[in-house]
Structure 1
Amino acid sequence: MPPSTGPVPVTGRVRRVLQDDARPSFFTSAIDGAPRWAVGALAALQGAALSLLVLAVPAVAVFVTTSADPSNVDVAWTRAVVVAANLWLLAHGVPVSAGGAAVSLLPLGLTLLAGFTCYASARRSGVATRSGALASVATYAALTVLVALVCGVGAGGVVRALLGGVVVGGLGLGAGLLRRPEAPSWPVLVAPLADRLPGPVVVGLRAGTLAAAALVAVAAVVTAVWALAGRATVADVVRMLELDAVGGVVLALAQLAYAPNLVVWALAWVAGPGFAVGAGTRFAPAEVVDGPLPALPLLGALPAPDLAGGALLAAPALLVAVGLLTGLAVHRRLVPTRGRDVLVAVGTAAATAGLLVAALQLAAAGAAGPGRMTQVGAAAWLVGLAVAGGVALGALLVAVPSDAAVRASLRARREAR
């Protein structure tokens, strides 16, 4: 009987082999033997191609359906692909020309679509390493620049395509890579930065992000209420347009592309400053000043002039309500060592929520056409300040009275007197 040799040491290479064997087959791709940067580049190419195809296929289908129209005899099918490519670029922040007017209003629905295809591609085929991640984002940004050059945009448009590709690709691909089985968890990934920041700041950043997400959810509910209240107007616009089946599908897709914009505008309405859909208009809890609008059913959901004033003036109180939840999150997560720690955490949370909401307002604003329609959206800085103020007020009402360190500091000051 051979002598026992003891346990076999598990080297790093053996451990990786065992991990690969235990990995579900869903995560195994045909390019697992390729260099990590090549795998990352192919994942980005796949994500970009998917979102482009989602736009190009319906565009070509519409062309084929309407090709029998005599007015379309001289229009090549490639024109439909160019239109789809321009819409894809618009989703990445590159303005397009429509009827001689520049359109810079991002269809946030298409932006979310591009981010999702990047996420799905990286989740399925990416590799969660530094070289793989950098190659993925760089390739996606290069592809947006390439599409911009093919579509003949100017130098400014190329720069916007580069920045948009980095932002959309970075967020989508990064989120997908973090879902890979070999990827580190989010706390481990941000630990080097979190360890260098004071504890109250870290708690404030998390609470502020939670507050911004809660405000988006509130705005989505408000948008649903608007849609129910304005369903008669929406139906009237649809009947007035007298669309056929193809036109109805195209209009529905266009409205889905801009539906997230309406949610962001509703957030500006909740904050108080409101938003505009055309120069000289204002939609806010205090007043509604409307004007001639494009014949889009989606715009029929905007608040009517009689939906202003009265009890609606209390709409910004929703900011304070979200601030109360933010203060509760600060109280539960913060371990203060000084009385001012809670103030630092609350201030950081309010600033984070305000900045995130302001960024959303910037993304949802722009020009939607010539003349009056060059002004669409909200004043981002004003909405951000309102959100920061409301969240700070609500958070202070909860976090300060319930914090033991603050109470101890106040007692010490009273005794010192």
Structure 2
Amino acid sequence: MSATGPRTGGTPVVDRRRRRTLSDDPTPTFFTSALDGAPRWVAGVLSALQAALLSFLVLALPAVAAYVATSADPSNSGVGWFRSVGVGSALWLLGHGVPAHVGPVVVSLVPLGVTALALFVCYASARRSGLATWPSYVAGVGTYTLVAVLVALLSGVSGAGLARALVGGALVSAVGLGTGLLARPEAPPLRTLTRAVWSRCPTPLRTGAAGGVLAAASLVLVAALVTTLWVVAGRATIGDVVRGLGLDAVGGVVLAVAELAYLPNLVVWALAWLTGAGFAVGEGTHFGPDGVVGGALPAVPMLGALPGPDVAGPATSLVPLVVVAVGAFVGWYLHRRLQTQRWWDAMLACAAAGVTTAVLVAVLVTAASGGIGPDRLAHVGAQGVLVGLLSGAGVLVGALVVALPGDAPLRARLGRLLRRDPD
């Protein structure tokens, strides 16, 4: 039988509950570097180096693989392996806005897929190993920008190309690393960081700007759906082009990487098509809902998805109404989110949404346009200003149609005017 009282001479009872040590250090852990004794900015430098290296390798490795696969060809006996790395670096720089020179030909069409890859890698690297501090952020942006400039120098870029590498590297790293650091659990919300700016902006303008961002994102989503329909409809032409190229496995992989790099450009061109402005793939061509003026195109499978002359018709002339429908959706959003106090608040918010949409779409379309060759192929894409104005106008009309009839202060103002009741 065991004793019921407490034991005095036996093995002491160990409390197996987890002990929690509380620190009286008021400084949060994210203000210190992951490396013992290292300054805070070291994490930003490492995150930027990791992002630049990973995004570069994704493009350089397929080029090196293509060189290895074709190195036994006697026609490539004078080509060194470093040339393949140069192809990858040229594509990486092109994604940051630096034109590539292929002999006498200048390729200035930015592959937005490469830009998106660099943004995502910066985001993932900063979220995983960055520190949510200003020194870390500034050091990361500076390091990534320096890497872009160094790659440009090693690739023989000079003059305006170096300036483009500087600006492109800074923009990509600022957005990618910034969003990654803000995604860390200990980081302050973006609304808190920007309170000093948006708190001085009237509420209708803030809400309208948010509606403009929503409109631009919605237009890109609709354009992606249209692009999917184009690819499905043109799959036979795409297959014929691929078979005509006669590529081996390695060549197919390299072609697939190049196609994915420019696929977002096709989505942006579809956005220009939705607005009614259309786009061109070579001087003298036009692809729009009002009609198609074709021409000789490069043997690129992705171009087989472009709409043909049989697509344009009376039904497609109504395609720009899609932009107005997106504006109506934004008008519903503004009506739900905005608490109007004055009769012009709703109109001001709709105008802000239209202007924001126009600016964002114009920047996106301009970035997705450029040249892919000499002569007529130096003009590929759409007119950013025109597409931006058309998209902004369509969103403005749709938003006004939905937001104004349900606005109480505006109805009261109109009622007083109709009764000729002075203010």
TM-score, length-normalised on structure 2?
0.92
Q: Does 1:80 align with 2:92?
A: no
Instruction: Pick from 319, 324, 328 the counterpart of residue 323 of structure 2.
Output: 319
Cα distance between partner residues in 2 of 1:401 and 1:374? 47
Question: CA separation of 1:178/1:281 partners in 2, compared to 1, >3 Å: closer, same or farther?
Answer: same
Cα distance between partner residues in 1 of 2:202 and 2:397? 22
The number of aligned residues is 400
3-state SS in 1 of match to 2:171: helix
Deviation at 1:74, TM superposition (A): 1.6
For residue 350 of structure 2, what is the aligned residue in structure 1?
A: 346
Q: Does 1:224 align with 2:236?
A: no
Instruction: Pick from 230, 245, 263 the counterpart of residue 259 of structure 1.
Output: 263
3-state SS in 2 of match to 1:35: coil
3-state SS in 2 of match to 1:402: coil
For residue 13 of structure 2, what is the aligned residue in structure 1?
A: none
Deviation at 1:309, TM superposition (A): 2.2
3-state SS in 2 of match to 1:288: strand
Instruction: Pick from 107, 122, 130 the counterpart of residue 134 of structure 2.
Output: 130
Instruction: Pick from 163, 176, 194 the counterpart of residue 159 of structure 1.
Output: 163
Question: CA separation of 1:12/1:318 partners in 2, compared to 1, >3 Å: closer, same or farther?
Answer: farther
Q: Does 1:13 align with 2:25?
A: yes
Q: 5+ residue gaps in structure 2?
A: 1-21
For residue 5 of structure 1, what is the aligned residue in structure 2?
A: none
Deviation at 1:339, TM superposition (A): 0.4
Q: Is the CA contact 2:33–2:43 (under 8 Å) kept in the aligned structure 1?
A: no
Amino acid at match of 1:120: A
Question: Which of 1 and 2 has greater Rg?
Answer: 2
Deviation at 1:233, TM superposition (A): 0.9
3-state SS in 1 of match to 2:25: helix
Q: Is the CA contact 2:33–2:40 (under 8 Å) kept in the aligned structure 1?
A: no
Cα distance between partner residues in 2 of 1:33 and 1:210? 44
Cα distance between partner residues in 2 of 1:415 and 1:12? 69
Cα distance between partner residues in 2 of 1:32 and 1:346? 52
Alignment of 1:6-405 (within 5 A): 13-14=25-26, 16=28, 30-31=34-35, 33-405=37-409
Q: Is the CA contact 1:29–1:125 (under 8 Å) kept in the aligned structure 2?
A: no
Cα distance between partner residues in 1 of 2:28 and 2:379? 56
3-state SS in 2 of match to 1:102: strand
3-state SS in 2 of match to 1:138: helix
Cα distance between partner residues in 1 of 2:271 and 2:26? 53
Q: Is the CA contact 1:32–1:39 (under 8 Å) kept in the aligned structure 2?
A: no
3-state SS in 2 of match to 1:153: coil
Instruction: Pick from 399, 417, 420 the counterpart of residue 413 of structure 1.
Output: 417
For residue 24 of structure 1, what is the aligned residue in structure 2?
A: none
3-state SS in 1 of match to 2:101: strand
182-191 vs 135-144, which moves further = 182-191
Bigger helix share: 1
Amino acid at match of 1:98: V
Cα distance between partner residues in 2 of 1:56 and 1:31? 30
Cα distance between partner residues in 2 of 1:328 and 1:307? 32
Q: Deviations over 1:281-325 (max 9, x none)?
A: 000000100100000110000000111121000000000110011
Amino acid at match of 1:116: F
Cα distance between partner residues in 2 of 1:118 and 1:287? 41
Amino acid at match of 1:166: A
Deviation at 1:401, TM superposition (A): 0.3
Cα distance between partner residues in 2 of 1:365 and 1:290? 18
Deviation at 1:261, TM superposition (A): 0.2
Amino acid at match of 2:253: V
Cα distance between partner residues in 1 of 2:36 and 2:226? 47
Cα distance between partner residues in 2 of 1:46 and 1:383? 37
**RMSD of aligned Cα (Å):** 1.6
Q: 5+ residue gaps in structure 1?
A: 1-9, 21-27
